[in-house]
Amino acid sequence: MQKTETAVFAVGCFWGAQAYFKKVPGVLSTSAGYTGGYKPNPTYEEVCTGKTGHAEAVEVVFDPAIISFRRLLEHFWKIHNPTSLNKQGNDSGSQYRGAVFYRSPEQKRDAEESKLALEKSGKYSKPIATEITTASEFYPAEDYHQDYLDKNPGGYCHIDLSTIR
């Protein structure tokens, strides 16, 4: 039986995050959704108000024998601006914040270590605003949001999908 793990990342709009992560070798499945808030079963319209506390996020199921959580973090840091608080590309509001929602003490440690390494790297002149927080309930987004960029080629995405390596 294949062992899997789950990671949850918020990098702004979930359309691009899902499109990106599903192409990463070792990722078995992805789901666009909402997490980090307080309203149960939020709708897209509710999350868009910024009043539910949720972030648009992607849930990534992966095979740790093929790709590590640390390697997924490298992808995560690459596809969003970690110094931008509540804004990615053209999208702004707390629902577009950058975040790692960790699911284990090991994921928390790895996320904190990778954030510290990025801060020390000198790559950014501004402080890292991306949050690292305990995972809460993940609510899958409505069906029309799942694999949105596959269904709507040319749809808006702040992520350069050609950078997957």
- The whole-angstrom separation of Cα 10 and Cα 59 is 9
Reported confidence tier of residue 165, pLDDT bands at 50, 70, 90? low
Q: What is the CA 140 to chain-centroid distance, rounded?
A: 13
Could you tell me the residue ranges of all domains in the chain? 5-163
Q: How many other β-carbons are positioned within 10 Å of the β-carbon of residue 71? A: 15
Query: Is 146 a residue whose pLDDT tops 70?
Result: yes
The single-letter code of the amino acid at 33 is: G
Q: How many other β-carbons are positioned within 10 Å of the β-carbon of residue 127? A: 10
CATH number of the domain at 5-163, out of 3.30.1060.10, 3.40.50.700, 3.40.50.300, 3.30.1130.10?
3.30.1060.10
- Which residues are catalytic, by number? 13
For 10-47, the pLDDT digits (tens) are: 999 999 999 999 999 999 999 999 999 999 999 999 99
For 76-134, the pLDDT digits (tens) are: 999 999 999 998 888 899 999 999 999 999 999 999 999 999 999 999 999 999 999 99
- The whole-angstrom separation of Cα 102 and Cα 109 is 9
Reported confidence tier of residue 164, pLDDT bands at 50, 70, 90? low
The per-residue pLDDT for 90 is 84
pTM summary value: 0.94
Structure tokens belonging to residue 28: 């078995």
Higher pLDDT, 138 or 157: 138
Query: Is 161 a residue whose pLDDT tops 80?
Result: no
Distances in Å between the alpha carbon of 36 and those of 41, 64, 123, 138, 164?
A: 12, 24, 28, 8, 27
The single-letter code of the amino acid at 7 is: A
Distances in Å between the alpha carbon of 78 and those of 42, 108, 129, 163?
A: 28, 18, 14, 9
Structure tokens belonging to residue 63: 């095979």
Q: Are 85 and 129 in contact (CB under 8 A)?
A: yes
Query: Is 157 a residue whose pLDDT tops 90?
Result: no
The single-letter code of the amino acid at 142 is: E
The per-residue pLDDT for 134 is 97
